[in-house]
Amino acid sequence: MKFVVAANGSRGDVQPAVALATELTERGHEITMLVRPNLTEFSAGAGLPTQAYGDSTRAVLDSELVRERMKSRNPVTRLRAVTELTLRGGRAMQHQLLDATDGADAIISGSAGQERAHNVSRARGIPHVPVHLCPMRRNRSTSLLAHVGIDASPAVAHLSWRLVEWTLWWAGRSAEDTLCADLGLEPVRAPFATQIEATGIPEIQAYDPALFPALTAEWGSRRPLVGFFALPGGLRSGVGDEAADDLLEWIEADTPPVYVGFGSMLPSDPQRVANAFRSAAGELDLRLLVSGGWSDFMSGVTDERIRVVGHIDHDTILPRCAAAVHHGGAGSVAAGLRAGIPTVVTWVGADQPIWGRAITASHAGTSLPMSRVDDMRIVDALGAALEDRTRHTAAEMSRHLIPAAQAVSTAADVVEQAVRASRTG
């Protein structure tokens, strides 16, 4: 079969797609990866045919639209920003995807950019198989009110998802009508979640049911929770992750460090956050391993107890750490849990509060908003994470996670079965 994998977003969105694409390639299928221009080297480094898709992730995240208007306290401003973001590059991305899917049997995409994938699948008459890295659909056990600390009842949780789905659809409806017309499609009359569900294609949930046990019972085979994906070990060096001998020597020369990394979510006030971590490290007598990713976060630090690096090989490095502090991206959550170490989620937005709440509820760590990070709160959070009972819970949870190889194999089975079913249906 021929699959086009449209992985829109940051590295945290692309890496699981690369893992699934690699599994499908090993099964003899033909794969074309579509990723943001700044991630083509990463995808190609895994040995996958890769094309640029849309604008650079960093250009989008650094734009005034995302930095200011998408975060405005005025809901009208935010909704207008959603519409503008939808149209900005949307037409070009649809046509890039349309060209790439010539002769394809299916499109595989994440939740970021699912609208473009769904439209092109309609235009091509081929299945669209979604892969979600966190809960993204209506349910009764995961609340969208996690960011304000509210434990919603099942009915309220379900209603909150419906309200968000319909609000986003109404906000972007005119833009989506324009983009549908551009492909010769009729306008849509319901949120994309409803449209995608109506196709009957399973929506793969690439995260572990250990954190969301109620979802398996609620969703069943419509949205199978297959487990977290991970890159096969042999691909790590190819995509540029660091596990150099000198880094390993630094880690093993003293007490295990606390890992700190925020992926593409650079703090809005990096100096304040950096100062908080330096202060906490001093007060708690900790070493810090800081992964700056594409940023220069804490790069000027000269303290011998703090090591600043670029991207790291999580599978090699994190098991050697005492705890992990990160923004709450699905990939970072998975890496910390697999390593069996406590987690502190310092979330910014999107799905991150959901992960923060899940980590806290599992007793494998704790969470707080990035905006509230200061000396005292980080000391408290790290102190709680490094308690014996938290460390024990995190270590125990790692033993119950679905192995990454099994997760990606199950997902590939779902993809193959979905395409075969669409041909006979």
| DSSP string computed for 203-244 | -EE-S-TTT-HHHHHHHGGGS-B-------GGGTTTTT-B--
What is the pLDDT at residue 228?
A: 97
Q: Structural domain boundaries of the chain?
A: 2-228+403-424, 240-398
Calpha distance 245→48 (Å, rounded): 28
DSSP assignments along 252-300, one per residue: HTSSPPEEEE-TT---SSHHHHHHHHHHHHHHHT--EEEE-TTS-TTTT
Q: Is 89 helix (H, G, I), strand (E, B) or coil?
A: coil
pLDDT confidence bin for 66, thresholds 50/70/90? low
Q: Do 2-228+403-424 and 240-398 fold alike per CATH?
A: yes
Share of the chain above pLDDT 90, in %: 62
CA separation, residue 76 to residues 72, 112, 167, 172 (Å): 9, 22, 11, 12
Given CATH 3.40.50.2000, say whether it is the number of domain 240-398.
Answer: yes
pLDDT for 298-318, tens place per residue? 666 778 899 988 878 888 899
Q: Any idea which architecture 2-228+403-424 has in CATH?
A: 3-Layer(aba) Sandwich (3.40)
SS3 27: coil
Q: What is the pLDDT of residues 241-275, one digit of tens each?
A: 556 788 999 999 999 999 999 876 777 788 898 89
Least confident of 74-78, 265-269, 309-313, 382-386: 74-78
Planar angle of CA 52, 55, 58, nearest 5 degrees: 115
Element (H, E) at 421: helix 404-424
Provide the token pair at 298. Answer: 């804490």
Residue 112 — pLDDT band, cuts 50, 70, 90? Answer: confident
N- to C-terminal Cα separation, the chain: 17
Q: Which two three-digit tokens encode residue 340?
A: 């069996």
- What pLDDT was estimated at residue 186? 94
